[in-house]
Structure 1
Amino acid sequence: MERGRARRPGERAFAVLAVVFALVASWQAYGISGFSGLSTAGVFPMLAAGVMTLAALSVLWSTLRMPEVEEGQGRTIGGFLREVFPARQQVMVLMVVVYMLVLPWIGFVLSSSLFLFAGIHYLWRKRIVITIGLTVVTMAVVYVVFRVVFQVVLPQGILLRGLF
């Protein structure tokens, strides 16, 4: 950990949530078989959850010792959102939501192709020909692996069901 670094927006809340999650995981791991023996099914989950709890407590302790961020440097909700959820992530989350809404209507192959093209084009910002080529190759591999090799039935979509 870097000395003298100010606590970033949301860092304390994340550390607290990590401790809560680790404690819940510990409870769940204990529920598998308790402390009934060293060779029971719950030993490894309890060990992993215990390590996770210790690590989360360590992160929380070091986070609480950090100085607060100075006034006007992200202490507002807007500063928190800019720091934790920047515009590029917001756009990608919006794309995922649109993808989820469109998938039942136009099917897996077309909606995934459009989502993949839009995501690559937005994040990578290369020429359109390269983006289209990468999208076509990727979707061909996905189609062959899932539809041909594993014989997974891919959703066709309500609008395209009668066409194919």
Structure 2
Amino acid sequence: MKQTRKLHPGERLISWLLLLFSLLVFHQAYRISGFSGLNTPGSFPLFAALVMVVCTLFLVLENRALGRKNRDRKMEAALVAGKLLPPKVVLFTLMIVGYMLLLQPLGFLLCTLLFLTLSILYLGRVKVLSAVLIAAGSTGAIHVVFSYLFQVVLP
């Protein structure tokens, strides 16, 4: 007895993104050396990328056929947004963007200390003093390792 499966929210979009990624991988594999023979350096990556393209193409076609049966796009978009973008992920992503924007004006040490402290407070649910001490220790360790051991100039 064959069971029919239902599409999960966002599955159709993810399958299309996978197909796009597979095509990009195929293009990059072709750029390695083209396809001048079976024993050239690019033949294995090209074959692997071709397998990826074919498999994801079958997945896209299967999901497209399944998607025709139940199409409530508004409800699907809300479910995808709720599952893929919970508020905690959105806020933390905004914190990362803020870190990137403040890195140049504040400098590495202060910006990293601030970012790590806020991240630990938000994600770890610890006391403020503990968060500051952990962030300061981590920032100090990163500074020592990169500045003195690797001799990298931090921003």
What one-letter code is carried by the residue in structure 2 that aligns with 1:140? G
Instruction: State the partner residue of 2:33.
Output: 33
What one-letter code is carried by the residue in structure 2 that aligns with 1:103? L
Instruction: State the partner residue of 1:114.
Output: 114
Q: Please state whether the residue corresponding to 2:92 is helix, strand or coil.
A: helix
Structure 1: 5+ residue stretches without partners:
156-164
After superposition, residues 78-89 of structure 1 pair within 5 angstroms as: 78-89=78-89
Kindly report the root-mean-square deviation, in angstroms, between the aligned alpha carbons of the 2 structures.
Answer: 2.7
What one-letter code is carried by the residue in structure 2 that aligns with 1:8? H
The answer to whether the 8 Å contact 1:8/1:69 transfers is: no
Measured in 1, the distance between the counterparts of 2:127 and 2:51 equals: 47
Instruction: State the partner residue of 2:95.
Output: 95
Cα deviation, residue 112, structure 1: 1.3
Instruction: State the partner residue of 2:134.
Output: 134
Q: Please state whether the residue corresponding to 1:35 is helix, strand or coil.
A: coil
Larger RCO (CA under 8 A, 6+ residues apart)? 1
Cα deviation, residue 15, structure 1: 0.4
Structure 2: 5+ residue stretches without partners:
none
What one-letter code is carried by the residue in structure 2 that aligns with 1:149? L
Question: Cα–Cα, structure 1 residues 154 and 35, in superposed 2: closer, same or farther, change >3 Å?
Answer: same
Q: How many residues align?
A: 152
Measured in 2, the distance between the counterparts of 1:72 and 1:34 equals: 41
Cα deviation, residue 150, structure 1: 0.8
TM-score (norm 1): 0.76
Question: Cα–Cα, structure 1 residues 147 and 29, in superposed 2: closer, same or farther, change >3 Å?
Answer: same
Q: Which has the higher helix share?
A: 2
Question: Cα–Cα, structure 1 residues 31 and 15, in superposed 2: closer, same or farther, change >3 Å?
Answer: same
Answer with 31-40 or 13-22: which moved more. 31-40
Say if 2:143 is the partner of 1:143: yes
Measured in 2, the distance between the counterparts of 1:97 and 1:58 equals: 37
Instruction: State the partner residue of 1:162.
Output: none
Say if 2:45 is the partner of 1:20: no
Measured in 2, the distance between the counterparts of 1:72 and 1:22 equals: 26
Question: Cα–Cα, structure 1 residues 125 and 47, in superposed 2: closer, same or farther, change >3 Å?
Answer: farther
Q: Deviations over 1:99-139 (max 9, x none)?
A: 11111111011111211221222112123333223212221
Measured in 1, the distance between the counterparts of 2:125 and 2:71 equals: 35
Cα deviation, residue 54, structure 1: 3.9
Question: Cα–Cα, structure 1 residues 132 and 39, in superposed 2: closer, same or farther, change >3 Å?
Answer: farther
Question: Cα–Cα, structure 1 residues 28 and 39, in superposed 2: closer, same or farther, change >3 Å?
Answer: same
